[in-house]
Amino acid sequence: MHFLRLSFVLLLAYTTQAQNQLSDVSKERINMGSGHNNFNSVLWGSAPASRTILGEIYLDTLWHTGSVKLNQGLLDDKKTASDSIGGIKMRYNIYENEVEVLANEARRDIRVIPGTQLKYFTLNQSTQPMRFINTRECKTDEAVTGFYELLTPGRLQLARHHRTKTIKPNYNMAFGTGEKNTRIELTSDYYVISQGKASRLNPGKKTILALMQDQQAAIEAYIKTNKISFRDPSDLTKLFAYYNQL
């Protein structure tokens, strides 16, 4: 992933399983940079005045083809409502909790869909699409905003919640050392989603075996045979995928 570790100019701007049923008119208007005129209410926004932030705010600074599922439908010329849009270039702004859409590449026309207006979205930036679901779609015992990245499907889903944290200045004038500017950094937490509820996960052998106690013997053997590291995201994903196929 390409993270931009310098000043960012903030420009405010899942898989839809029915992508072939999307409104061609709506999709074309978005790509032309004019679809926002027909969006309901506050769904579609333009970039406001620029402001500068130091640090990382995007999951990936590059644009990738993706699709979104909206909370409310938008109307095309035939007055037909569609709540899905696919085949658009987009990226995930974690800091602002928005999906930015490249409406017109030649004009660098960037639009935004606030995260509050989305149920889920997909980014096709690897061999496997990255799927994100709004945190409010799951029950939880804590306040979580933004989106969960779904890493494994099944009865026990592994998810990752990407968020930003603010690093305050620590400049020491006497020694001339430290950082003068406030910086934004990316971090993430693991969650387990089961029966519509999301619970924070601190990966470790004891915790994992408690979660998967109905298949404890098989899971212990898999961990040992495959030398699973609970700090490695790919190992965790493989472990949950294995459990869900048992």
Same domain, 80 and 115: yes
pLDDT of 139 > 90? The answer is yes
Same domain, 165 and 58: yes
**Domain presence at residue 1:** no
Domain that holds residue 99: 6-201
pLDDT of 45 > 90? The answer is no
pLDDT for 52 equals 54
Chain segment 90-128, per-residue pLDDT in tens? 999 999 999 999 988 888 889 999 999 999 999 998 778
pTM comes to: 0.77
Tally of domains within the chain: 2
Task: Please state, in angstroms and as integers, the Cα–Cα distance from residue 14 to each residue in 73, 92, 153, 231, following that order.
Answer: 16, 12, 13, 26
Chain segment 204-235, per-residue pLDDT in tens? 999 999 999 999 999 999 999 999 999 999 99
| Residues facing 231 on adjacent strands | none
**Domain presence at residue 79:** yes
Contact between 147 and 91 under an 8 Å Cβ cutoff? The reply is no
Task: Please state, in angstroms and as integers, the Cα–Cα distance from residue 71 to each residue in 80, 85, 155, 187, following that order.
Answer: 16, 12, 25, 27
Same domain, 221 and 187: no
Give the 3-state secondary structure of residue 191. strand
Same domain, 41 and 124: yes
